[in-house]
Structure 1
Amino acid sequence: MLTDIQLVFIILALTILCFLTPRFRSDMVALSSLMALYLTGLLTVQEALSGFANSVVIMIAALFVVGEGIFQTGLAERAGNLLVKHTGNSEFKMTIFMMLLVALLSGFISNTGTIAIFIPMVVSFCRKMQIHPGKLLMPLAFTSSMGGTLTLIGTAPNLLASQTLVDYGYDSLKFVSFTAIGAIVLVVGITYLWFIGRKMLDRPHENDAHSANQSEDIDLLKEYNISQYIHHINIPEGFEDEGKTLRDIKWRSVYNITVLEVIRKPAKKQFLLPKSTLRFLPGADYSPKSGDYLIVYGHKEAIYKLIEDKGVEITEENDSGDFMLEKARLAEVILTPQSAFINQSIEDIRFRDKYDLTILALKHQYKDARRPDQNEMLLYGDTMLVYGEWKDINLLHEEKRDTVVLSHVRKPAAALPHPGRSFLAGLILIWMIFMMVFEVLPTVITVIMTALIIVFTRCVRQTDHAYRSINWHTIILIACMLPMATALEKTGGIEYISERLVAGLGDVGPLAVMAGLYIIASVFSQFISNTATAVLLYPVAIMTSQNLVVSPYPMVMAVAFAASMAFATPVATPPNAMVMAAGKYKFMDFMRVGAPVQLITAIFIILFLPIFFPF
């Protein structure tokens, strides 16, 4: 017969194991763990659902709305555009100021959203400067995580640290409690990344002619290994299906062939295609006419089958580039960690119907790109090569929740949100910071009020957008993991872990115990959510400090910093995962660059924490 403490440790071990398995969604794992705790009798209904009433959960949801207002008004993007404009062609200025700006923004709004805005900017700058984007994107991701530790609201573990202390009868942390050490870590991290880390990531630029969109398209076709699927056919006189639409002749369903672009000659026949040739992207209502040249996408065997069945003629591409993809463009698209497309098939998400774009190639993490099947599942960390008109690519670019578009036509200044709205969003953010620094109201009330003001002032255009901006994945994860800490405490699991930690390191002193907690949290955070890591270890940190009869603040804050300082793997944080595809990194790139950053920041945090927060 298993005891309660054995049962809770079994559920905890299975939960962590499932967190480590990429195929399982972490929020569903947390929810399943919660149900297991209740069904085994370890928690009552009230205890199991207590996480959903926790003020931190409410506060994080409201902060997502505040962040959405910052993004929708264009405040963050304007700051980035202004930075790019004033740094000119200086790699040093661009890198340092971009890292500082990303860190500053991440101290107040989601680092995932911040990275989604800045990835296309950095990629565009690198192409302009003929620098490989991998040289800058990983440092950007790392500094976004460092920036989250600058304030109480910068990252979920910080908020949870303050609430856990309150739950155990201690005073809450201040808005700027993390700022001093966070600033030291940021300066140390940026210094290392500029002088050492950036050089470790240096590699040859992939193309010397990126100024031409056509050259970029050629490079992307080669990189995604789909040039072999691009063919050119001619519709001859007497075409048997002339007058019928693409919808009617069903080339896509019968032959798995997609018509990408149509090149239509003038009525008068000429040997070479004149400049006035009409080029357009065909819709389902397009009717192939004799004399039309079509750029099509499909297997060569399917093309030959089409030629055999329909009598179309294959045409060799000439040197003048007449058959290059012209009006349409190609773009790389990254799935964000919270994308609704993950674990759904291409057919299920109806990508072509929704965006009028064609997915030409799909690249899973650590695998070569290839032409996707419509029933293939999209996974965390996938990148896609999409094809369509720039206006449709720009529409996709606007929806940063599901995807990040790496290359796109920048909107004209007139199309950006009105500058007055950006200014208003900035004032609201400053007001929130003032209220929290001087503790005019409880933190949770201040954040909820700010979210309401953001909605009432239409910084978020529609209330539905405010609800959609909330990352329910994170909310469910936190709310379901908090009762795990309750179960561990209730069964004596936390006391058991704390006693083992004190027995092993207590004789050396509290600094060694704090270092041990930091190492445990740091290892956990490389593979499971920083939020889950924090929830599990904060009670251990407090119980351990009580056993040692020392202040719990340095212990708890050590866990908070360790949970956020996750650099050694691409799955450690959402920003790491997002830049992996854009920077064309391998797993070992994160180990080579991230592990030293992990070690250096750990040393500084462990040394400085007792100075600012004595034992």
Structure 2
Amino acid sequence: MEAWIVIGLLVVAVIAFATEKISVDLVTLSLLCVLVMCGILKADRAFAGFGDRVIILLAAIFVIGAALRETGVLDLMGGFLAQTFGTQPRRLMAVMMAVVGGVSAFMNNTTVTAVFIGPVMGLTRKLRIPPSRLLMPLAFASLMGGTCTLIGTSTNVAVSGAITKLGLQPLRMFEFTGIGLVLMVTGILYMVFFGTRLVPERDKAAVMSGDAMRDYLAEVMVLPNSPLIGQAAFDSDFSALEFQVIKIRRDEQAIDAGPNLRFEEGDVVLVAGKVENLIRVKKIEGLDILEDVTLRSSGIDMRDAQVAEVVLTPRSGFVGRSLRENNFRQRTGLSVLALTRSDRALMHHMADEKLRAGDVLLLQGPSDRFRAYEEGNDMLVITQHQFSAETRRRGLMLLAAFVMAVICSSFEWVPDTVAFVLVAILAVVTGCIKLENAYTNIDWRLLILIGGMMAFGEAMKVSGAAQMTADFITGWLQPLGPFAVFAGFCLLTILLTQPMSNAAAALVVLPVALQAAASMGANQRAFAIGVMLSASASMLTPFEPSCILVYGPGKYRFSDFIKVGGGLTLVMLIVILAMVPVFWPLK
């Protein structure tokens, strides 16, 4: 009976993780409470995962990554890339992916992607190539780099902790670096020789003409005595400004722009246009951006404010709610002039539009407010920042300490948790990152997910659920041999990473895969590493945080990731199936 309860909870967990109607941390904690109330786990065992060394290790790595970003050390790498390596797109793609993958082998892939977006976009403008040519390879490289070391991605650390609880030795720092490097090199070669033909070239004509600015959606107000009053919507001064009129809001009613519709005083016009033209609107008599009109009526002077483009991160607290619900201006001190997203679909008045991860906003406000919210990991400013020499010096010292921690933990001179926690403490003590920003940059939802799912894996083992599920899967595939079972679990992991996070998918499949390996007398470690690598090798959809970050700036469509990432995922799977049994024989 207990086994069926656990299997039922597993199905509920997969559905809940896939739909994300309820936050994954709340789902995880609820599962643990049900396991305790059903008597399957004692309370101390259910919540023991939150005190595991893996949780502390991951928290320390999050802090170190944020500190290196805030001190500008990672920006140095991006700037070096932008200034050093040629103008030939294929060679540039190869070098960029190698650099990003190398950095991502030791840092959170989302952080690495966020840091390199600005320099890469600046480089595409300089070379007059569409950003879409390099941003998707950038995200893929950060994911592939994570397969090279234990700390390359949270999934690797989580799997190491989980197999320890299930009776195996933890993974070593560079235990799977060999196969990780093969995966990365193979992935880069695929992108350079095949993927580059499939990567879309958005706005190619605009880029070649030197007009590489993206289209934004903005609300412009027709002021009293405006020359626009009485002009037809499809034949007006907006056309001269190279704006496309999308919709008109009049007396709180939305009106579709038609050939016979004429502008009236007080109309709020939704237009699509370039940033430079939106800025010009602020200087044209009789027209103004709606947000500026609102600010002036409130007595706020924004003439000396900075205007910048930002991308909302997947962890942003603004995602899922509208600007109005967020009290965006009051809360941030920044005003939204315009926004853009890949599908350019706005279903509501801009203030009531639900924000999505990957949305690009054109914001106006004091520069210190941009910095504060970027440090809090809510948004990414798509510009290269200026850092003082002292800040960079502290960052380089922290980088040296981080390298020492990697070396010391690799040779087991110091436990890895102790080594990285000391570096995280050093980051705070030396002022590389403020203490409150250190806590903000820790992905607490992920830590709760990992800690809880490790306990869930134990519940699957003690209840017999893992044995039942393993017997079912091996009953179908065992006649074909251990390799077929191994391949089945790798494919299952890849499929589950589409609706679920990589870590969640790996931790769901892992106990079943290990039980199946034990039943066949196969090498459990090979199955564990196959599942772990498969979780990081799936690039079919843009749901991974690194892909979400480039989705808006690259103006991608969902089908672009299926077209480009589908082939790359297949290549990654083939490499895993071919190489893992070589490094860790299945029998």
TM over 0.5: yes
Partner of 2:518: 546
Identity score, percent: 29
Question: Structure 1 residues 168 and 39, CA, compared in 2 at 3 Å: closer, same or farther?
Answer: closer
Alpha-carbon contact 2:19-2:499 (below 8 Å) kept: no
Q: CA separation in 1, counterparts of 2:559 and 2:338?
A: 25
Q: CA separation in 2, counterparts of 1:122 and 1:440?
A: 38
Letter matched to residue 317 of structure 2:
A
Q: CA separation in 2, counterparts of 1:169 and 1:225?
A: 55
Partner of 2:414: 441
Q: CA separation in 2, counterparts of 1:120 and 1:224?
A: 18
The Cα of 1:27 is off from its aligned counterpart by 2.2
Alpha-carbon contact 2:132-2:200 (below 8 Å) kept: yes
SS of residue paired to 2:552: helix
Question: Structure 1 residues 382 and 148, CA, compared in 2 at 3 Å: closer, same or farther?
Answer: closer
Letter matched to residue 65 of structure 2:
G
SS of residue paired to 1:568: coil
Letter matched to residue 404 of structure 1:
L
Partner of 2:462: 490
Number of equivalences: 533
Question: Structure 1 residues 478 and 171, CA, compared in 2 at 3 Å: closer, same or farther?
Answer: closer
Partner of 2:37: 39
The Cα of 1:356 is off from its aligned counterpart by 3.9
Letter matched to residue 574 of structure 1:
P
Where in structure 2 are the equivalents of 1:371-520 lying within 5 Å?
A: 372-379=349-356, 381-388=357-364, 391=367, 395=371, 398-399=374-375, 401-406=377-382, 408=383, 410-412=384-386, 415=388, 418-460=391-433, 462-520=434-492
Partner of 2:259: none
Letter matched to residue 466 of structure 2:
I
TM-score (norm 1): 0.79
Letter matched to residue 182 of structure 1:
G
The Cα of 1:126 is off from its aligned counterpart by 1.5
Q: CA separation in 1, counterparts of 2:346 and 2:389?
A: 34
The Cα of 1:95 is off from its aligned counterpart by 1.8
Partner of 2:541: 569
The Cα of 1:492 is off from its aligned counterpart by 0.8
Q: CA separation in 2, counterparts of 1:51 and 1:73?
A: 33
Letter matched to residue 122 of structure 2:
S
The Cα of 1:294 is off from its aligned counterpart by 6.2
Alpha-carbon contact 2:107-2:152 (below 8 Å) kept: yes
Q: Pick from 221, 224, 231: which aligns with 2:216?
A: 224
Question: Structure 1 residues 92 and 382, CA, compared in 2 at 3 Å: closer, same or farther?
Answer: closer
SS of residue paired to 2:413: coil
Partner of 2:324: 347
Q: CA separation in 2, counterparts of 1:36 and 1:532?
A: 18
Alpha-carbon contact 1:130-1:205 (below 8 Å) kept: no
Partner of 2:493: 521
Greater gyration radius: 1
Partner of 2:573: 602
The Cα of 1:568 is off from its aligned counterpart by 0.2
Partner of 1:276: none
Q: CA separation in 1, counterparts of 2:330 and 2:196?
A: 41
Q: For residues 3-22 of structure 1, give each alpha carbon's deviation from its aligned partner in whole angstroms, at most 9, with x where no partner exists.
A: 22222222211111111114
The Cα of 1:567 is off from its aligned counterpart by 0.2
Q: Which runs of 5+ in 2 are unaligned?
A: 228-250, 253-265, 270-279
Alpha-carbon contact 1:231-1:297 (below 8 Å) kept: no
Letter matched to residue 194 of structure 1:
V
C-alpha RMSD of matched pairs (Å): 3.3
Higher mean displacement: 178-187 or 36-45? 36-45
Q: For residues 448-491 of structure 1, give each alpha carbon's deviation from its aligned partner in whole angstroms, at most 9, with x where no partner exists.
A: 2222222233332x222222221112112112222221221222
The Cα of 1:298 is off from its aligned counterpart by 4.2
Q: For residues 99-138 of structure 1, give each alpha carbon's deviation from its aligned partner in whole angstroms, at most 9, with x where no partner exists.
A: 1121111111111111111112222221222211111111
SS of residue paired to 2:48: helix
Partner of 2:244: none
TM-score (norm 2): 0.82
Letter matched to residue 357 of structure 1:
L
Q: CA separation in 1, counterparts of 2:205 and 2:348?
A: 23
Q: CA separation in 2, counterparts of 1:474 and 1:167?
A: 19
Q: For residues 250-302 of structure 1, give each alpha carbon's deviation from its aligned partner in whole angstroms, at most 9, with x where no partner exists.
A: x99xx7979xxxxxxxxxxxxxxxxxxxx9989xxxxxxxxx94642349xx9
SS of residue paired to 1:17: helix
Question: Structure 1 residues 127 and 280, CA, compared in 2 at 3 Å: closer, same or farther?
Answer: closer
Question: Structure 1 residues 390 and 589, CA, compared in 2 at 3 Å: closer, same or farther?
Answer: farther
The Cα of 1:94 is off from its aligned counterpart by 2.9
SS of residue paired to 1:506: helix
Q: CA separation in 1, counterparts of 2:72 and 2:560?
A: 33
SS of residue paired to 1:540: helix
Letter matched to residue 15 of structure 2:
L
Partner of 1:315: none
